[in-house]
Structure 1
Amino acid sequence: MAANEVVSAALQDSWGDFWLFRFFLNAAGYASIMVPGFLLIQYFKRKNYLETGRGICFPVIKSCVFGSEAKSAHPDDVSLAARNETMESSTAQQILKLLFCAAGLQASYLTWGVLQERVMTRTYGATETDPGEKFKDSQFLVFMNRILAFTVAGLYCALTKQPRHGAPMYKYSFASLSNILSSWCQYEALKYISFPTQVLAKASKVIPVMLMGKLVSRKSYEYWEYLTAVLISVGVSMFLLSSAPTKHLSTVTTFSGVVLLAGYIVFDSFTSNWQDALFTYKMSPVQMMFGVNVFSCLFTMGSLLEQGALLESARFMARHSEFAAHAMLLSICSAFGQLFIFYTINQFGAAVFTIIMTLRQAFAILLSCLIYGHAITVVGGLGVAVVFMALFLRVYARSRMKKRSKKLPAGEVPVQKV
């Protein structure tokens, strides 16, 4: 019995190291594209190509390396004007629009969450004599999501009038790389932790987002933002400490899941802050979606081809039609979910969007427990309640601060009471 435990622990140790090996393998694939690109950008800048360049390649190089460098108002200002216009429409129309947005977001991301857990934690092709096989390459799922998002955003930009593109194209690559890595960590983490744990960890990313905002954008925060961040941390800790790791037999898998979740939160926090900085250029949210996904497709395809994983994943898809359907539906939910995000924020603002998505996270935990049988203790349930109470408190406090700032006379600064 002791020998079997030693062998099992050794296998789990090697599996725990496997994701780290794949991570560095993927990173090497991305570097093989980014490093030559970086050298080319530096070359064109040193040669002052914007002033001396000529020929048919000049417009492409100018757009990719220099852009127009024209900056515009932040998209929040644009969306605010759009929302002011929508206020003139009837209340019934506004309610219908809100229901449409809420239904679209809930349907897209609840389906996406259920399918994500199904693809990463269950086997395909299982029979009475064959245990089946699991799909292992998370990067292929990221590639499929990004290729469809790129297509949808491209078609939207082609069919609608979008503002003139201003940012140098290469600047999208930073958000693209961090977005790829955050998605990869998110998929891989499900091999080691439960979906409810992942959802709560994602809800707690408010804290690293604030830290990254201070580092990247030099932002300052209100006292209530720190208070809600602490409450979220307490609630997540209550949930994690009360959950018995029945499905994970060693600390190796638990540690791997924690590291992957930390990677997801760090990369995702950087992505949101970098995109926020990019929005100072003249662009629409769908153009941002298009630009980021251009590089995402390039990075993931290059890395998959270098590793020979693209054909292997395609063969797995050919062997299991159920997986092919799940992967396609996963990509559709991800792509159209992004469009619903942009539309909801444009019509109703970030506060309403945050409330809808917070409710979605709570529904996602409930669905996962019902479908896949995850058990939550009383203390764990209380921790979940604390997290979502803090999230709603955060939305309420932010809306109150905005209303208060609008009522103040021009030039007067709100004074915080201690």
Structure 2
Amino acid sequence: MASNVQVLADSWIHLLLNLLGYGTIIIPGYFLIKYIKNSQYIERAGNGIFSRIILTCVYGNTYDKIVEDTIQAQKPRKERSSFSDCSQLIFCFLGLQVSYLTWGVLQEKIMTEEYTDLSGSIARFKDSQFLVFVNRILAFLLAGTYLMVTRQSRHKAPLYKYSYCSFSNIMSSWCQYEALKYVSFPTQVLAKASKIIPTMIMGKIVSGKKYEYYEYLTAVLISMGMTLFLLTSSETHKQSAAATTVSGVIILIGYMAFDSFTSNWQGELFTQYKMSSVQMMCGVNLFSCLFTSVSLLQQGTYFTSIEFMFRYPRFFWDCIILSICSASGQLFIYYTISCFGPVVFVIIMTIRQGLAILLSCIIYMHPLTLTQVVGVLVVFGAIFLRIYCSHRIKQINARRAAGIDSAKV
């Protein structure tokens, strides 16, 4: 009992230390941005490099945004066919599955495997925040390099707006890992399977989105089907058997709130500023690198982790491969959100959990229970229902638009 209390206290202390580290950037940044806006700096800014950096961080390229939006409004938009939408969705689905299934295997290997150096000494790496930093720094460098060597549309969003989803992404990752220590297996499954519902709720809060009745219905059906499938999986029952505590529920709610905010905020930025997926990737990872590096330096684990990386060559290459998988996965995340929105992205990632178990059952010939089969049928039935209803509504809207145009003529 005493050890459990100590572990819980360590978790909250670790969270407090992380927040203090992030606060050393967020709080001064908030007051600085507020001061710049209140002082009407944009009216007296010059053409120097320093002024351009401040304007880009705080205001973005708002004048260019107005000009480009006017030009784009004059160009007729090309309507995508159903086949094109389907092909694009399959591409996103496969890209996300391959990237994050590989990433999950490598992450588990790094956190559980013992590494041996040239002298024969054995050690295990334990700092998951450093892995987040390595993933983010490589993704930032790759995105930044790509932006420099290719021609991109003018970036219009104020840079500070990326900090919101960067912070929420870091916090959701921390909550996800910590919650598993303090909640029971059924609670874990229910939370993972029902992420679509809080994502839709957050969409209404962040963007004021309105969803059709069939979207709510299919969200509930997918959550129910995934819950049936995951709860009866012999593979996932091997996970933590911790009992649910109040702290665990609070952390779990925090994970779902932060995670749903991240995808919805990114979707809102795509809608408002029309940036490319690589520009989004670069901006989000810039702040993620900033937050995690400051926290690691303040806690004194940055240089010890670097030393571990160069002392154990296998760990070094595992980190590089893990970071490449993470970077490719991020590209697919931002591309999916920009094309189909946060709800479709969450549906794909929710199905990924069940797909991993289903593939394990097929490869290792584990029998599927009747409940699992029912769960799979409910999930895919809900997906096909969602596609059918979406297609029907598009047809109805197109007919109404054609009727209005003919009436005007």
Would you say 1:110 and 2:109 are equivalent positions?
A: no
Q: Could you tell me which amino acid in structure 1 is paired with residue 3 of structure 2?
A: L
TM-superposition CA deviations, 1:168-227 (whole Å, max 9, x none): 111111111112212333344566789999687445211011111121212222111221
Q: Which amino acid aligns with 2:390?
A: R
Letter in 2 for 1:315: E
On the 8 A contact 2:183/2:248 being kept in 1, the answer is yes
Partners of 2:247 and 2:19 lie apart in 1 by: 18
| Aligned residue in 1 for 2:256 | 265
Conserved in 2, the CA contact under 8 Å of 1:358 and 1:388? no
Aligned length: 387
Q: Is residue 331 from structure 1 mapped to residue 323 from structure 2 by the alignment? A: yes
How do 1:193-232 residues align onto structure 2 when only pairs under 5 Å count? Answer: 201-232=191-222
Partner-residue secondary structure (3-state), 1:409: helix
- In structure 1, the partner of 2:171 is 181
| Partner secondary structure for residue 251 of structure 1 | coil
* Cα contact 2:228–2:372 (8 A) shared by 1: yes
Work out the CA distance in 1 between the residues paired with 2:387 and 2:377.
15
The worse-fitting range, judged by mean Cα deviation, of 106-115 and 171-180 is 106-115
Alignment of 1:219-368 (within 5 A): 219-238=209-228, 248=240, 250-251=242-243, 259-279=250-270, 280-341=272-333, 360-367=352-359
User: How far, CA to CA, are the matches of 1:195 and 1:111 in structure 2?
Assistant: 24
Q: Is the contact between residue 115 and residue 326 of structure 1 (CA under 8 Å) also seen in structure 2?
A: yes
Q: How does 1:131-210 map to 2 (within 5 A)?
A: 134-189=124-179, 201-210=191-200
* Cα contact 2:138–2:327 (8 A) shared by 1: yes
Task: Give the Cα–Cα distance (whole angstroms) in 1 for the partners of residues 163 and 197 of structure 2.
Answer: 25
TM-score by length of 1: 0.76
What residue number does 1:416 align with?
none
From the superposition, tell whether residues 337 and 42 of structure 1 become closer, same or farther in structure 2 (CA, over 3 Å).
same
Distance 1:192 1:370 in 2: 31
Q: Percent identity?
A: 54
Query: Structure 1's 15 and 205: CA in aligned 2 closer, same or farther, altered over 3 A?
Result: same
Change (3 A) 1:20 1:341: same
Aligned equivalents of 1:318 and 1:193: distance in 2? 36
Tell me, which stretches of 5 or more residues in structure 2 are unaligned?
405-409
Take 1:178 and 1:38, find their aligned partners in 2: how far apart are those partners? 16
2:407 equivalent in structure 1: none
Q: Does 1:50 align with 2:42?
A: yes
For 1:22 and 1:373, how far apart are their aligned partners in 2?
42
Are the structure 2 counterparts of residues 359 and 207 from structure 1 closer, same or farther at C-alpha, using a change threshold of 3 Å?
closer
Deviates more, 1:110-119 or 1:384-393: 384-393
- Quote the offset at 1:306 in angstroms: 0.9
Report the equivalent of 1:393: 385
Deviation at 1:265? 2.1
**Which digits, 9 at most, give the CA deviation of each residue in 1:312-344, with x for residues without a partner?**
322343454443333222211111123345567
- Three-state SS of the structure 2 residue aligned to 1:57 is helix
Q: CA deviation at 1:246?
A: 6.1
Measure, in 1, the Cα distance between the counterparts of 2:176 and 2:386.
Answer: 25
User: Aligned-pair distance for 1:21?
Assistant: 2.2
Q: Go from structure 1 to structure 2 and tell me whether the alpha carbon gap of 1:289 and 1:83 turns closer, same or farther (over 3 Å shift).
A: farther
Q: Which has the higher contact order (CA 8 A, sep 6+)?
A: 1
Gaps of 5+ in 1: 1-8, 89-93, 413-418
> Which of 59, 65, 68 is residue 66 of structure 1 equivalent to?
59
Larger mean Cα displacement after TM superposition, 144-153 or 238-247: 238-247
